[in-house]
Amino acid sequence: MQEKLTIQDIARLAGVSKATVSRVLNNNPTVNPALRERVMRIIQEYNFVPNVTAIGLAGGRTRLIGVLAPPLVWPSVPEIMRGVAEYIENTAYEIVLYSINFFNVERSHSEILDRILALRMAAGLLAIFPGDLSPHLVQHFQRGLPMVVIDDQAEPTRIPWIGIDNRASAYTATRYLIELGHRRIAHIMGPRHYYCAVERYEGYRQALEDAGITPDPDLLLQGTFEPVGGRQCAEQLLSRERATWPSAIFAANDQMAYGVLEYAEQQGIHVPEDLTVLGFDDNILSAHMRPPLTTIRQPFVEMGYQATGVLLTMIDPDHRIGKGQRHEPPKYTFEGARTGEPVRIQLPTSLVVRASTGAVREPLVGP
């Protein structure tokens, strides 16, 4: 009996409805104290461990939050999930994670998403870097599923969106290099179909032009957002005549900057004495590279935290933060988010200066 006990069993033993048991389990303050005590006594007597899905279904609502994410090996995803978990910890909600490998082109991810959402397990969805699924997510949002997106791969849609100002952040990074005296600044761009890659390039270009520096097409290379892409681009730049080398390389993400640092070390190029390197993201490994990487820090933990808060206020307009949480989330109702002005929350970034950048030196001479 104990192993198979259900909410219905608890309701029968306590002489109450399943909805009452659900409200007790969800700490609903409207439950009569005497009924609450009776239900809790039965729960404790039978060591009942509630199923979070059943709790929601019995009460007409689910206390599960769906999180659609790429594999957790993606550098920023664990930090975002830490923010999600930090917020959820002090609420009545739980997380169900749907991890999709978007690089598996043989699978129809839109069909997989449809099957997941058809189960109606989740009260709302937090989509992290959904990529090509963005248009499909809009359809579910318009049909009535509360949703928040953390994304830099596609231009924001009508779905509430949390991210950063990629253009302004790249401008800050490039301006910092200019202030160090660098004028030949190469940029390793991310894939052009990524919204953030184009925005970061525009920030780089604008900073050069504002400083009176004409962008040199020979110093713009196409990368892949992966270390191997950074390494290949570094080889293209640094296998030329030394007189044509850039004095600094601004990689559009830390992963590509790692590839630049690897190539420089193997070729005996000293960073930052011979070459300054700057990245973007401030992934966990960046502070431990050789040398530690100067980069733009994205507030990934805060993204997950705020996105979860916004989603819960859309699901439940009366939602309040729990004890120990940092701050009250912005208040958005689902209908307001769906029919009003698009919700856009841009969190601030910061420049983290480490040992991979330095003031410009005299041009290298020799073969």
pLDDT digits (tens, 9 = 90+) for 90-122: 888 999 998 887 665 555 667 777 777 766 678
Same fold, 64-164+300-332 and 166-297: yes
The first and second tokens of residue 6, run together, are 């259900």
pLDDT score at 140: 87
Distance (Å, rounded) from C-alpha 98 to C-alpha 117?
Answer: 10
Confidence of residue 366 (pLDDT cuts 50, 70, 90): very low
CATH fold, domain 7-58, is 434 Repressor (Amino-terminal Domain) (1.10.260)
Give the lowest-confidence range in 123-127, 163-167, 228-232, 270-274. 123-127
User: Global pTM?
Assistant: 0.81
Helix H or strand E encompassing 195: helix 195-210
CB atoms within 10 A of CB 144: 10
Do 278 and 357 meet the contact criterion of CB atoms below 8 Å apart?
Answer: yes
Alpha carbon of 159 to those of 166, 246, 300: distances in Å? 19, 41, 19
Q: Phi/psi class of residue 271: alpha, beta or left (left: φ > 0; alpha: ψ in -120 to 50)?
A: beta
* Single-letter amino acid, residue 131: G
Residues 13-50 have pLDDT tens digits of 889 988 888 778 766 777 888 888 888 888 878 777 66
pLDDT score at 326: 67
CATH fold, domain 166-297, is Rossmann fold (3.40.50)
The first and second tokens of residue 216, run together, are 């040199």
Confidence of residue 365 (pLDDT cuts 50, 70, 90): very low
Residues 219-278 have pLDDT tens digits of 999 999 999 999 999 999 999 999 999 999 999 999 999 999 999 999 999 999 999 999
The residues spanned by each domain of the chain are: 7-58, 64-164+300-332, 166-297
Alpha carbon of 14 to those of 2, 45, 61, 100: distances in Å? 15, 11, 22, 42
pLDDT at 323 over 70: no
pLDDT score at 272: 98
Q: Where are the beta strands (DSSP E) in the chain?
A: 64-69, 94-99, 124-128, 147-150, 161-163, 185-189, 220-222, 248-251, 276-281, 294-297, 344-346, 350-352
- Torsion angles phi and psi, residue 89, rounded to 5: -55, -35
pLDDT score at 285: 96
CATH number corresponding to 64-164+300-332 = 3.40.50.2300
Confidence of residue 361 (pLDDT cuts 50, 70, 90): confident
